[in-house]
Structure 1
Amino acid sequence: MQFEVWAPQADRVTLHCEGGTRALTRDPERAGWWRGEAQAGDGARYGFALDDGPVRPDPRSRRQPDGPDGLSAVVDHGHYAWRARWAGRGLQGAVLYEAHVGTYTPEGTLDAAAGRLEHLVELGVTHVELMPLCPFPGRHGWGYEGVSLWAVHEPYGGPDALKRFVDRAHELGLGVVLDVVHNHLGPSGNHLPAFGPYFTDTHHTPWGSAVNLDAPGSDEVRAFLVGSALAWLRDYRIDGLRLDAVHALYDTRACHFLEELSAAVDGLAEELDRPLFLIAESDLNDPRFITPRAEHGLGLHAQWNDDFHHALHTALTGDSQGYYADFARAGFAALAKTLTGGYFHDGTYSTFRGRHHGRPLDRARVAGHRLLGYSQTHDQVGNRAQGDRLAARLSPGLLACAATLTLTSPFTPMLFMGEEWAAGTPWQFFTDHTDPELAEAVRQGRRREFAAHGWAEEDVPDPQDPATRERSCLDWAEPGREPHARVLAWYRRLIALRRDEPDLTDPDLADTKVAYDEQARWLAFRRGDVRVAVNLGKEPAAIPLGTRPAKVLAAWEPVRVPGPDGLLQLPGESCVVLSQP
């Protein structure tokens, strides 16, 4: 088979494969590339030595059976026999479910996670979004320190296990989204700098030197990242990618990397004749990310909307520290603004940043489903000192209100694993670094971060302690007992309503009309003929909905439709969805 590698600064490149060696030759048609042939089949181990250096794994390795520092292995993607006939599933009308393979089940493998997919079918979600799967040192971690961007973490089961997972999901009618990280690679096990200028000091990120998207050599680096993204979509039949922290992709070129990536993904979708999509995580509140390329945008298909989360979180909890400050100060007005306009900071002053931030969405041109709405994510739970979920702080009634606002919003809803049954397990920050110095640095860094906010050292879980990961695994016995079972039934009902009521998937942001009473702590909004009301206060609330006939579609507590006075009497910490043509 043909082996090739980009190593523009090397004078010699030697292929080590199955105990033998072979000198590669320069590719006369591609500057910096080396190539050669050797006998090798599926599973064969190999690596490259540059000049007199050690044997290193392939930057485009499809498998790292012995971890990031071991030899690469050949993967023959034609070897797997796909079962599911899958035409794809697009983003419009979707309900996403974010899951971490290592804690979705106690086993922490893709095969074990595949065995729990029927739960998602019964829940009613349309796509499962997997947190990053690229190899990283050790067994357990969040996945955001991955290396080998074309491979699957071996403790999760490796490449065939991912194919089995996707195959099973597709058999059940579920799409699969994968979280990918292009803005940095892990500090441990990262061999890319030895091969070429994959990183540049032209820009700096919170993780060090930036990925080289615009300095000399960046053409090949961009092709490397685009090729990795397309490989997930093509070779593993993934339906969409979530792009981590795109605001940390520093690129001054006229054609931004994300525009190049979105064009390539759209081209592959046309070639495969099935929908593919890209979802950005960005804190810039910049509509250009989700504006079509033909309209001079970057052409991504959707983005996470943290402003909706922050507005909802502060309304539910009263938190006001850090980036929550502006949302807490605005109160229910922040939630109303995000429900109707997408962004809260749309050019307004951000006290957290000390400057004005964002720009308005054009509601006439940006469909609501291009923004993802959520009450919890891995970031918003796991980046708390103790990884506590909303369920640790709120009553079941308030959790039902959070679910209602998320699942009836004009956005594409996303759930974080376990929230659908008010999971009692935390989701904490955990690592398994094999480098003792790095492990200690992460441990101390975590303690210092929260000590600044008044946390005692002993109250911040040790990321390297295996018990931290074990505490974070879902308890699959919980959904069968109260109060978890009732919360789960509520989520199922709301998702079914979203599927059955066309007004709830109407992409027109401007059609959402909101009313609220800050003092009484209720908020109501209309989407077409559907009325949604939540009471976040402990006392009953009288909510004016008008005298038109109404029908209760779903209610957390028993309620009557408004009488002649047009008032809905809604119990405290409760919610209702009505039809009112």
Structure 2
Amino acid sequence: METTAWNLDIGATVSGTTGTGFRVWAPKAQSMVVQLVSARGKEERVALLQEQSGYFSGMVNGVAAGDRYLYLKDSGTGRPDPASRFQPDGVHGASQVVDPRLFTWHDKHWQGIRQEEYVIYELHVGTFSREGTFDGVIPLLDYLVNLGITAVEIMPVAQCPGRRNWGYDGVYLFAPQNNYGGPDGLKRLVDACHAHGLAVILDVVYNHFGPEGNYSGEFGYYTTDRYRTPWGAALNYDGPCSDPVNDFFIANALYWLHEYHIDTLRLDSVDWIFDLTARHFLQRLAEEVHRHGQMLGKRIYLIAEYDANDARLVRPAEQGGYGIDAQWNDGFHHSLRTLLTGETTGYYEDYGQFSQLVKAFENGFVYTGEYSAFRRRRHGGPSPEVPGSRFVVFSQNHDQIGNRKCGDRLAASVSHEQLLLAAGTVLLSPYIPLLFMGEEYGETAPFHYFVDHSDKQLIEAVRRGKAEEHASGACTGDPPDPAAESTFLDSHINLTLKREGRQACILKFYRRLLALRRKTPCLQVFDRNSIEVKGFERQKTLAVIRQTETSRVLCLFCFSDAAEEVMLILPPGKWEKLLDSSHPQWDGAGELAPRELHVAQGAVNIPMQPFSLAVYENRG
């Protein structure tokens, strides 16, 4: 068992051996009763006392872990607790009392890893293993470690309706999904990750509630009509009665750190978090998370998904920023994908130029104030002072696959050579890399959008919305039905299969890239002053030099469909080739780039195969 100085001050909290305290924010109520059903079936109703701040609270003796309860507002229908720790019967059922002290942790010496060491593997619990549970992930952790992964990112697990969902429809944000294994299942997974030396990133949604099972509006002013999101009502971070809403979501973040030992939170679409107060919710969240990280003696971070290309998000508060540790860089992905596939539909219409990938390496953001045809306005701002470790980059993720018409992965659109080039561009970049489950061997199974709502009208609305949303994809016809179980089952992957042929080659290449990144000091350089980027527009070849005091590494990425030659001025000395994707061991056409470069003074010419990459090291 473990004790902690931090306690959640909302929800149901077991107190010693005497009973359980209940506290709920319900300013819309005149009275509040907690309806209890013990594990033995005994029923009881207890009135809670009203606090001046809109909360109701009370201690009920004899209530223990495993007992269930509902709140009755003004003698109305019983509703689950907005801060429920567990919903064993789903979003419409009773909440269950959980005592976090009963779980035995084995990671007391775990302090996390440095942000610069993060190599992220994003997975969806329900489709990642045969079991589709938290426990089902655990036997596959050795595979991730051997691959070279250092951090596991779990798509949202807050309780959603039904048994299949991406997780962004969560309505009980403190309650791990029941059919994944609930609270203890998630804790076992986190504990096992730490035993394997893996950090854990949990994706959380602080921009909206899901559409089914959300009864929070019957209790308090959680949402506002001042703003709208693509998913419904915006959360009330800056209107009347917004202080308890801010406290609710900050408590949720701290809850994952303390009770589940999560290392990093990934914040979904923070551009849909609206707060016009002088101290933005994100700034307050970052301050609290980092303060509690220091209290725990752990390296704890926040990573945000943000589409505004505004470096303010990741600047320290003392420089006028919010203090978030890193953000996803969609522009990097769009530049890379359009170069490889030629797609220019939807938001890809703003991309497709080789110079944009060069800028992504130089600056981080691609759009830094230029006009965006897709948005029909100027977009973004510069970020030259932001180190590379504050950007997360990828060639695939759940959005960029699952929001396509048929959920097709990059492997469905490009050649073997282009897949290896995409992998190298991400993993050898001066940024934090993210892989989406299965990409490391060229998984061919799609990753669809899927739901399991009980409301037929809601299901029809989802079907219409997804059909209208899809602007790209490698298939014809109607998109798969999000509500069909087959859509969910088709999205499963199987890591236990032995990889053969091209898949075995791709997997070996990923392992080689990650080993190179881990063992080569220059590939751990994120300071822009130690990175030189040069683009050859005609040859569509990118040269990136990263250096330390004692060595340099040259990475060449050729995006041309024909053999090319580039002329580079390099520091003198011997440059030894560490990797060439065109080598026959990677099913390549054969190396054109020389095994060694002997540079005296002046320029050196380096030939490259189409869609290939080469890495050289110079030790001074």
Q: TM above 0.5, one fold?
A: yes
Is residue 617 of structure 2 the alignment partner of residue 579 of structure 1?
Answer: yes
Partner of 2:14: none
Is residue 167 of structure 2 the alignment partner of residue 143 of structure 1?
Answer: yes
1:191–1:90: structure 2 CA closer, same or farther, 3 Å change rule? farther
Letter in structure 2 aligned against 1:353? R
2:56 paired residue among 33, 37, 43: 33
Letter in structure 1 aligned against 2:479? V
1:482–1:455: structure 2 CA closer, same or farther, 3 Å change rule? closer
Q: Deviations over 1:402-460 (max 9, x none)?
A: 1111111111111111111111111111111121111122123222334x779999431
Q: Secondary structure at the match of 2:606?
A: strand
Partner of 1:390: 410
1:356 paired residue among 359, 366, 378: 378
How far off is 1:52 after superposition? 2.4
Is residue 311 of structure 2 the alignment partner of residue 291 of structure 1?
Answer: no
Listed as ranges, the matches of 1:28-177 within 5 Å are 30-84=53-107, 85-177=109-201
Q: Deviations over 1:311-341 (max 9, x none)?
A: 111111111122222321xx11100111011
1:206 paired residue among 208, 226, 230: 230
1:453–1:576: structure 2 CA closer, same or farther, 3 Å change rule? closer
Q: Secondary structure at the match of 2:35?
A: strand
Partner of 1:549: 574
Matches of 1:337 and 1:51, distance apart in 2:
59
How far off is 1:197 after superposition? 0.4
Is residue 565 of structure 2 the alignment partner of residue 539 of structure 1?
Answer: no
Listed as ranges, the matches of 1:78-477 within 5 Å are 78-84=101-107, 85-328=109-352, 331-363=353-385, 366-450=386-470, 458-476=477-495
Q: Secondary structure at the match of 1:480?
A: coil
Matches of 2:59 and 2:134, distance apart in 1:
34
How far off is 1:557 after superposition? 2.4
Q: Secondary structure at the match of 1:448?
A: helix
1:447 touches 1:457 (CA, 8 Å); kept in 2?
no
Matches of 2:456 and 2:518, distance apart in 1:
50
1:90 touches 1:276 (CA, 8 Å); kept in 2?
no
Letter in structure 2 aligned against 1:389? R
How far off is 1:192 after superposition? 0.3
Structure 1, unmatched stretches of 5+, are none
Matches of 2:404 and 2:529, distance apart in 1:
34
When normalised by structure 2's length, the TM-score is 0.90
Matches of 2:473 and 2:409, distance apart in 1:
20
Cα RMSD of the aligned pairs, angstroms, is: 1.8
1:11 paired residue among 30, 47, 52: 30
Structure 2, unmatched stretches of 5+, are 1-19, 38-42, 584-590
Matches of 2:21 and 2:141, distance apart in 1:
38
Matches of 1:393 and 1:428, distance apart in 2:
16
1:214 touches 1:251 (CA, 8 Å); kept in 2?
yes
Percent of residue pairs identical? 41
Matches of 2:477 and 2:380, distance apart in 1:
39
1:69 touches 1:189 (CA, 8 Å); kept in 2?
yes
1:453–1:386: structure 2 CA closer, same or farther, 3 Å change rule? closer
Matches of 1:350 and 1:449, distance apart in 2:
19
Letter in structure 2 aligned against 1:79? L
Matches of 2:472 and 2:228, distance apart in 1:
26
1:27 touches 1:35 (CA, 8 Å); kept in 2?
no
Matches of 2:228 and 2:333, distance apart in 1:
28
When normalised by structure 1's length, the TM-score is 0.96
Matches of 2:564 and 2:248, distance apart in 1:
57
Matches of 1:551 and 1:203, distance apart in 2:
57
How far off is 1:147 after superposition? 0.8
Q: Deviations over 1:524-576 (max 9, x none)?
A: 22112111112233332223345742111122223323467822232222211
Q: Deviations over 1:231-268 (max 9, x none)?
A: 01110000000000000001111110001100110110
Letter in structure 2 aligned against 1:61? S
Q: Secondary structure at the match of 2:115?
A: coil
Letter in structure 1 aligned against 2:192? R
1:288–1:159: structure 2 CA closer, same or farther, 3 Å change rule? same
2:207 touches 2:273 (CA, 8 Å); kept in 1?
yes
1:530 touches 1:577 (CA, 8 Å); kept in 2?
yes
Matches of 2:366 and 2:558, distance apart in 1:
22
Is residue 523 of structure 2 the alignment partner of residue 501 of structure 1?
Answer: no
Letter in structure 2 aligned against 1:465? A
Partner of 1:489: 508
Matches of 1:55 and 1:106, distance apart in 2:
36
Q: Deviations over 1:83-123 (max 9, x none)?
A: 23312223122111111111111321111111111111001
1:511 paired residue among 530, 547, 562: 530
Matches of 1:521 and 1:9, distance apart in 2:
61
Name whichever of 413-422 and 509-518 sits farther off.
509-518
